[in-house]
Amino acid sequence: MIRSHFGIERNPFDGNGVTLLPHQQAVFNIPQAHSRQGCLCVITGDPGTGKSVIKNAIVSRDRKKVITPSVSRTLHTYQSILKILCAAMDIEPGAHAEKNEKLLIEAAFKINSKGRMLVPVIDDAHLMEIESLRRLRLLFEDFPKNHNLVLIAQTPLMHNLNLGVNEDIRSRLTYSVNLNRLNPDDVKAFIFEQLDRIRLGHNTFSDEALDLIARSSEGILRRVRNLCVSALPETVRDRRQTVGLDQVNRVLMQPHWRQERDMQPH
C-alpha cells in the first residue's frame, strides 16, 4: 500500500541497510580498532537508543577478515552460551563446558593463524549471570590477541560491574560507552537518511511533523522509527503525499502511544 502510493520499490524504515549516524559510527569505529589487542568493550544504553543498529553493523563487517559470532540468548547457562559460540564458529559442540572451552580456544588460534580477527558480540549482556560473564572473561584470556569481546547491554550492566566484587571484570574493560538519546537534529538526520535510501524527498514529512516526531519520540531511535512507520499509512489513507501534523497526531492518540507517554517521568 505504501510503496504503490508513493511510487517506491522498498519499504521505508525497514531497518535494512541503515547508515550509521555520526555518533553511532564513532562508537562502531573504536571496537573495530581494538580488535587486534584482546579487548573487552561494553556498549550500553536505554532501550531503543540504537544499540541494535551498532550490533548489526559489527556483525555485518567484512566476513573475510572478521569472524563475528553473535549471542543473543543470554539468559542461558554458561554451557549453553559456549554451545551457541561453537555453533556460530562452525564447531560441533561437546557435552561438557571444559570440552567446548578447549574447542573454542583451538578455533581461535586457527583463526589467528589465517590473519583473521575474532569479534564475538553478546547482546542483552545485562541479563547474563555475572558468574557466566566472569567465566567468559577467563576463557578469552587464553585466546590469542586477535579478538575483541563486545558486550551490548542496558545501563544496569555498568552499575553491576562498578561493584567492588566485580573489579576483576571491570578492570579489564578497554572501552565503554553509553548511548545517549538523539537530539532533534539527529532525529531529523535519521529520517532524512531513511528517505534518501528509498529515494523519497525530504519534504515527505512536513517541518511541523518532523518537529512533533522529534519531541514525541524523546530522542529514542526506536520510537522515531515506529512513529514514522505508523504515520505513513495514515497519510496514504488521507490520500496525501506529505506526512503532516494530523497524521502524526492521529498515531499519538492510539492507546499504546498514550500509555507510553503517560508512563514517562515528567
Give per-residue pLDDT as tens, 98-116: 999 999 999 999 988 988 8
Q: Which three three-digit cell numbers place residue 20?
A: 550509521
pLDDT (average), residues 184-209: 93
Q: CA–CA separation, 194 vs 191, rounded Å?
A: 5
Residue 47 has pLDDT above 80, yes or no: yes
Average pLDDT, the chain: 88
User: What is residue 183's predicted lDDT score, i.e. its pLDDT?
Assistant: 92
Determine the residue type at 260.
Answer: E
Q: Which three three-digit cell numbers place residue 143?
A: 585466546
Residue 186 has pLDDT above 70, yes or no: yes
User: What is residue 184's predicted lDDT score, i.e. its pLDDT?
Assistant: 94
pLDDT tens digits for 167-185?
999 999 999 999 999 999 9
- Res. 163 pLDDT band, cuts 50 70 90: very high
pLDDT (average), residues 25-51: 85
Residue 266 has pLDDT above 50, yes or no: no
Residue 74 has pLDDT above 80, yes or no: no
Q: CA–CA separation, 7 vs 249, rounded Å?
A: 25
Cα angle value 131/137/139 (rounded, 5°): 105
User: What is residue 243's predicted lDDT score, i.e. its pLDDT?
Assistant: 95
Residue 264 has pLDDT above 60, yes or no: no
pLDDT tens digits for 210-236?
999 999 999 999 999 999 999 999 999
pLDDT (average), residues 49-65: 85
Q: CA–CA separation, 255 vs 264, rounded Å?
A: 15
Residue 143 has pLDDT above 50, yes or no: yes
User: What is residue 216's predicted lDDT score, i.e. its pLDDT?
Assistant: 93
Alpha helices in 19-96 (DSSP H): 22-33, 51-59, 78-88
pLDDT (average), residues 117-125: 90
Q: 148-153 and 117-118 as β-strands: parallel, antiparallel, unpaired?
A: unpaired
Q: CA–CA separation, 95 vs 137, rounded Å?
A: 21
User: What is residue 179's predicted lDDT score, i.e. its pLDDT?
Assistant: 93
Determine the residue type at 86.
Answer: C
Q: What is the pTM of this model?
A: 0.83
